[in-house]
Structure 1
Amino acid sequence: MNGIEARLERIGTDGRIVNIPMDHGITIGATDGLKEIESTIDAVTRGGADSVLTQKGLSPRVHPNKNGAGYIIHLNASTVLGEADPNDKRMTGTVKEAVRRGADAVSIHLNVGSLQEGDQINNLAEVTETAAEYGMPVLAMTYARGPGVDEHDPEALGHAVRLGEEAGADVVKTAWSGDAESFEHVVESTAKPVIVAGGSPEGDRAQLEQVRGAIDAGAAGVSMGRSVFQHEDPEGMTRAVASIVHDDATVDEALSAGEL
């Protein structure tokens, strides 16, 4: 087993991944669930999250509270306040910094179809090259976003995840296409594990139905942020999601598991 394989086991379980990204503070500020991020990290990892994800500066607040879960450091960002295009993600960290800060993997966001696509592809290529030298897995968050691009079109999403694989990523994350049948095309577009973003379904049942649909379509798991860390019961919501991803629970069983 090489370093990448060993570290992939730290951010997932038996090839399945429940990841809770909490890098949103750099984008939208210290919103609910992120002000006291220590308690949120403790809750979601007690609930069964395989890994959490933040920007590098929060690493001292992550390690004491993650209950043995894996840790991913995100390497780029933008803010909602800046005058630039929000699709223009700028580098905020490096693979070497992530190694020094105790990460098990790194992640980087790409908006495929955006005006900044070229720069972001270059950034991903550089990250995967350096990460391979350190045996560090790379999660590429490949979204279909830009002028005239439908963010939920399965063809565009399939193209996005394939780009992630071809540029050297080990795991790819993308948006939900709307139903399990169309998401099968997305999953089949790459040989790498595909995990689905949470999006913004209304209500716990709708959110869990999306998770169930993604797993039915062949996804390897989920990377769900605000729908978990802003939930009134982050631990319960994580437990419900994990029951689907890891235990193949139905939506009703998941709601019961999370006591939602």
Structure 2
Amino acid sequence: MSLYRLNRLFNPKSGRALDVAVDHGFFGEPSFITGIEDMSAVVDTLVDANPDAIQLTLGQARHLQAKPGKAKPALVMRTDVANVYGNPLDSHIFSHHVPFAIEEAVRLDAVAVCVNLMHLPGRPEIREANIISIMALREQATRYGMPLMIEPLVMQDNAKAGGGYMVDGDTAKIVTLVRQAKELGADLIKADPTDDITDYHKVITVAGDVPVLVRGGGRVDDRTLLERTVAVLEQGAQGIVYGRNVIQHENPAGITAALMAVLHDGASVDDALALVGGGAA
């Protein structure tokens, strides 16, 4: 099946993509909405910065798609909601996908939809719920020609993470879950960086012909972010999905310009850092 919508996600020159994730409010965690309380203003800022795509929820996608013109970033739509990030965790943990999510994505002119595949130690029912969602979404995505991005998330043990699941960067665990995402029919894979970034080629290899976009995770300094970006691209990643490192940055336009330069123009870390400084208010 030809997924023509992906022509609006990947840059035609580099074949890579920057997707800025602003779907954090979906998960009901208060700390996640710091800096993105006013979503209309956030989307305005990002549209001006012009990444390749913005990842939004069903309820917030209109802030992007109502804007006129064809030069704006593409829409990637988040399709599932879970409550696995709280500290402390709720007594009941769940994950559900939006009913008719693929039809909604078609109506909203999305280029892809995103769904989780989570491994939570001691909570196999969450992975089961994710797999059920993926299989339901895969059937509809095939029917409508909507690319399906699966997001494998390997979490640390809740006790080790101090309440609230945190990402586990173990290479073998990430590789295993990425492989399962491919087996389940992913058109795109959004995966965490490995703790040892030089291992990332193993993730790319196991994904095979499915493009891998790398998650950004928690906030880090600009040099660390750009160095990690260069490293995963050198190992074969076809893009990045960064959220808080862009939307909580003091200069979202500057860091977006820096990331786009690395992705699409092959800029060095130092040259990209100059763009952040040069764009600062």
Q: By the TM > 0.5 criterion, same fold?
A: yes
| Secondary structure, aligned partner of 1:57 | coil
Is contact 1:244-1:254 (8 Å) kept? yes
State how far apart, in whole Å, the 1-side matches of 2:258 and 2:42 are: 16
Q: In 2 relative to 1, CA 84–242 (structure 1 residues): closer, same or farther, beyond 3 Å? A: farther
Match runs of 1:213-232 below 5 Å: 213-232=231-250
1:195 paired to 2:218: no
Is contact 2:65-2:108 (8 Å) kept? no
Number of the residue aligned with 2:10 = 12
State how far apart, in whole Å, the 2-side matches of 1:211 and 1:65 are: 30
In the superposition, the TM-score normalised over structure 1's length comes to: 0.90
Q: Deviations over 1:79-124 (max 9, x none)?
A: 43872566x4222341112212222211101103552112211211
State how far apart, in whole Å, the 1-side matches of 2:168 and 2:92 are: 16
Residue type at the aligned position of 1:91: H
State how far apart, in whole Å, the 2-side matches of 1:64 and 1:46 are: 15
Counterpart pick for 1:151 among 131, 144, 168: 168
State how far apart, in whole Å, the 2-side matches of 1:37 and 1:143 are: 26
State how far apart, in whole Å, the 2-side matches of 1:147 and 1:16 are: 33
1:90 paired to 2:118: no
Residue type at the aligned position of 2:222: D
State how far apart, in whole Å, the 2-side matches of 1:228 and 1:150 are: 19
Counterpart pick for 1:173 among 180, 190, 193: 190
| Secondary structure, aligned partner of 1:73 | strand
Residue type at the aligned position of 2:75: Y
1:61 paired to 2:63: yes
State how far apart, in whole Å, the 1-side matches of 2:202 and 2:64 are: 36
Residue type at the aligned position of 2:244: R
Counterpart pick for 1:70 among 54, 70, 74: 74
| Secondary structure, aligned partner of 2:90 | coil
Number of the residue aligned with 1:112 = 119
Match runs of 1:114-129 below 5 Å: 114-115=123-124, 116-129=126-139
| Secondary structure, aligned partner of 1:19 | strand
State how far apart, in whole Å, the 1-side matches of 2:156 and 2:255 are: 32
In the superposition, the TM-score normalised over structure 2's length comes to: 0.83
Number of the residue aligned with 1:47 = 49
Is contact 1:41-1:65 (8 Å) kept? no
Is contact 1:40-1:234 (8 Å) kept? no
Runs of 4+ with >4 A deviation: 146-150
Query: For structure 2, which runs of at least 5 residues remain unmatched after alignment?
Result: 159-165
State the aligned residue count: 257
Aligned-residue offset at 1:39: 2.8
- Max Rg structure: 2
State how far apart, in whole Å, the 2-side matches of 1:128 and 1:61 are: 27
Taking every aligned residue pair, what percent have the same amino acid on both sides?
26
Aligned-residue offset at 1:150: 7.3
Q: Deviations over 1:102-150 (max 9, x none)?
A: 2221110110355211221121122112101101001111111264997
Residue type at the aligned position of 1:205: R
| Secondary structure, aligned partner of 2:249 | coil
Aligned-residue offset at 1:49: 0.9
Residue type at the aligned position of 1:51: A
Number of the residue aligned with 1:237 = 255
Aligned-residue offset at 1:75: 0.7
Q: Deviations over 1:208-239 (max 9, x none)?
A: 11111111111111000111111111111111
| Secondary structure, aligned partner of 1:222 | strand
| Secondary structure, aligned partner of 2:59 | helix
Number of the residue aligned with 2:268 = 250
